[in-house]
Amino acid sequence: MFGAPRNPISAYASVNVETSVAEASPHKLVLLLFDGAIQACVAARLHMEHKQIAEKGTAVSKAINIITNGLKASLDMESGGELAERLAALYDYMVQRLLYANLKNQPAALSEVIALLTELRDAWAQIAPEQQKVAAA
């Protein structure tokens, strides 16, 4: 009557991600976006190394989608001022580098984007939600 899941690890990961998103604060959601983009870039690099073209393209597309429709879309351009503008430009640059990496099979470009995302993620992680409330007051 009930079939075993085809891939229990994948099923667990999906439930875990959905639970994390449902319970996350806005601060945590941004961290999850960074994590997802970094993971997609790492996967793209591995697929590139193994000459798995379709999988590489899927992973690059996922990273671009997270950066464009997640990280960049979450910027508050009105109250964010110059910082938001610079982050938007940096996200655009990352997308260009990902497209280049995909087109030219350049793992160095993927590594560059991974490094940029990791640096931004680490800086964001240091901003505790309590500190955000104090800064807003």
14-23, 61-70, 107-116, 122-131: which range is least confident on average? Answer: 14-23
| Confidence grade of residue 65 (pLDDT, cut at 50, 70, 90) | very high
Percent of the chain with pLDDT over 70: 76
Is 90 exceeded by the pLDDT of residue 67? Answer: yes
Residue 99: CB atoms within 10 A of its CB come to: 14
Contacts of 71 (CB under 8 A, 6+ apart): 30, 33, 34, 37, 87, 91
Phi, psi of 73 (to 5 degrees): -65, -25
For 15-55, what is each residue's pLDDT tens digit? Answer: 444 545 566 788 899 999 999 999 999 999 999 999 999 99
Distance, in Å, from the CA atom of 56 to the CA atom of 51, rounded to the nearest integer, reads: 8
Domain 26-136 annotated CATH 1.20.120.340: yes
For 112-125, what is each residue's pLDDT tens digit? Answer: 999 999 999 999 99
- Using an 8 Å Cβ cutoff, are 109 and 101 in contact? yes
What is the per-residue pLDDT for 26?
84
Q: How far is CA 117 from CA 2, 7, 9, 63, 71, in A?
A: 41, 29, 26, 11, 10
Distance, in Å, from the CA atom of 14 to the CA atom of 59, rounded to the nearest integer, reads: 16
| Confidence grade of residue 128 (pLDDT, cut at 50, 70, 90) | confident
